[in-house]
Amino acid sequence: MKIVFSAWSLRELEEHYNYLNALNPRAAARIHNKLLDSIEKLAAQPLMGRIEPSLEHLQSFARWGSGNDIKRSIL
């Protein structure tokens, strides 16, 4: 499975990284890398996480995870 980022998602990722980087560069890099590693897992496990009720009207690809899972929404 291919993970596709919306323009909004990419902006959010960059803004969060920049905010954290200003406070603590090491923590920002660690969190950013952990997030990207988790996103890569979606290619192997595309159904991880529960279906977000507010996204049920979309394809089954719209999911929201918790804990070790992550949010994903291919819009």
Residue boundaries of the structural domains of the chain = 7-48
pLDDT given at position 36: 86
Mind listing the pLDDT tens digit of every residue in the chain (75 residues)?
Answer: 677 777 888 899 999 999 999 999 999 999 999 988 888 887 678 777 666 676 666 655 555 444 444 444 443
SS (H, E, C) 22-52: HHCHHHHHHHHHHHHHHHHHHHHCCCCCECC
Q: Helix crossing, 25-44 with 7-23: angle to 10°?
A: 150
User: Alpha-carbon distance 60 to 36, whole Å?
Assistant: 22
